[in-house]
Amino acid sequence: MKTLSTRIRILLLASTFYFFGCGSEQESTGIQQTVTASKGTIAYSPLTLSNPFFKVIGDHIKAEARKHGYDTLMLDPNEDVKTQSDQIDDFISKQVSAIILVPCNRLSIGPAVQEANKAGIPVFTVDAQCAAEGVEIVSHVGTDNFQGGALAGEAMIEILGKTGGKVLILDHKTANSCVLRVQGFKKIVDAHNASNPAAKIEVVSELPSGANRTDSYKATADTLQAHEDLAAIFAINDPAALGAYTAVQEKSLENSIKIIGFDGQKEGKVAIKEGKIYADPIQFPDQMGVQIVQYIIAHLAGEEVEETVLIPTSLYKKADAEKDPELQ
């Protein structure tokens, strides 16, 4: 009868023979390999990862890239165009397969994009377009921001159409997407004013939001000092809308000043449900992340892809929030 220690030695010898014997066979035949080599890396530099919207895009870029055998390199420029330019230089040195940008500045990012072009690395944009001259952007996938701004204008008319009133716009002119939102908003409001002069919706101030709560709070607080009779605010995203709400609440004006945001982030949807924000034209960042990667894969395979794809927004109000499964 074998002792326990003898049995263990036999098992160890058998295991050693199995792993070394089978290992040499796998190397010679190339079968049963457990590690799959990456096809390359897709790099992503958004406006900022502190905004959950861009994190959702990034998460879906990463998941879709993995399906096609690509790694993802995601860096946060924190809204600084110099940092983003340095990140592009890093992507070039790493010889990534493709670059996805949400430009921190639609014009100033141009020289860095040109360097990527010279290096033969295809550049794509998502959410916000690059407006610099002399750059090559293979494809852009984003929201139809002009259409979304028009929906915001229609929501403003729902609020003020019968009486008119003073409005503050919290903009963000360094982002092309936000410029388009304001343009769409103004087009609808201007058309209303032309046909309803007695109920004019007057934009009394248009201030930089920084696309964040802090700057938007300060801009709103300053405006309220000059216009205590302000009737409504259009903010270019949810963080800006929530910053504006804090300033309005401090003045105990939350029942008289209505706020329209943009995006449809969860925090924005919650604020709509709670009555802090009147409505949002909502975007679909999950679709953006998936579709931009699909376009990259097609381009790398030598296929033609569309230069611009715009995804329409949908107006989201309190009734939508109350039946939204995400908020249950």
**Mean pLDDT confidence for 75-102:** 97
- The amino acid sitting at 253 is L
DSSP label at residue 263: B
Q: pLDDT band at 149, cuts 50/70/90?
A: very high
Q: What pLDDT does residue 174 have?
A: 84
Distance (Å) of CA 113 to CA 54, 86, 124, 302: 20, 11, 10, 21
Quick one: which of 140, 134, 131 has its CA closest to 176? 131
* pLDDT tens sequence across 56-74: 999 999 999 999 999 999 9
313, 143 Cβ separation under 8 angstroms? yes
Say if strands 230-235 and 165-171 run parallel, antiparallel, or are unpaired. parallel
Helix (H) or strand (E) holding 60: helix 52-67
Helix (H) or strand (E) holding 207: strand 201-208
User: What percent of the chain lies above the pLDDT cut of 90?
Assistant: 84
- Mean pLDDT across the chain: 90
Q: What pLDDT does residue 177 have?
A: 87
Q: pLDDT band at 36, cuts 50/70/90?
A: low
- How many CA atoms within 13 Å lie on the side-chain side of 306? 10
Cα(190)–Cα(172) distance, integer angstroms: 20
Backbone angles phi, psi at 95, to 5 degrees: 55, 50
**Mean pLDDT confidence for 145-163:** 97
Q: What is the pTM of this model?
A: 0.78
| Residue 195 predicted with pLDDT over 70 | yes
Q: pLDDT band at 175, cuts 50/70/90?
A: confident
* pLDDT tens sequence across 216-229: 999 999 999 999 99
Poorest-pLDDT segment among 17-31, 61-75, 102-116, 277-291: 17-31
Quick one: which of 115, 113, 93, 118 has its CA closest to 102? 113
Q: pLDDT band at 8, cuts 50/70/90?
A: very low
Q: What pLDDT does residue 319 have?
A: 97
**What domains are there in the chain, each with its CATH number?**
41-142+285-312 (3.40.50.2300), 145-283+317-327 (3.40.50.2300)
* pLDDT tens sequence across 299-311: 999 999 999 999 9
94, 38 Cβ separation under 8 angstroms? no
Output the DSSP codes for 9-36: HHHHHHHHHHHHHHHHHHHHH--S---P
**Mean pLDDT confidence for 89-106:** 97
Strand-by-strand arrangement of the 308-311 sheet: 71-74, 41-45, 98-101, 123-126, 139-143, 308-311
Place of tokens 């033969």: 120
Quick one: which of 156, 100, 167, 92 has its CA closest to 127? 100
H helices, E strands: number in the chain: 11, 12
Q: What pLDDT does residue 52 have?
A: 86
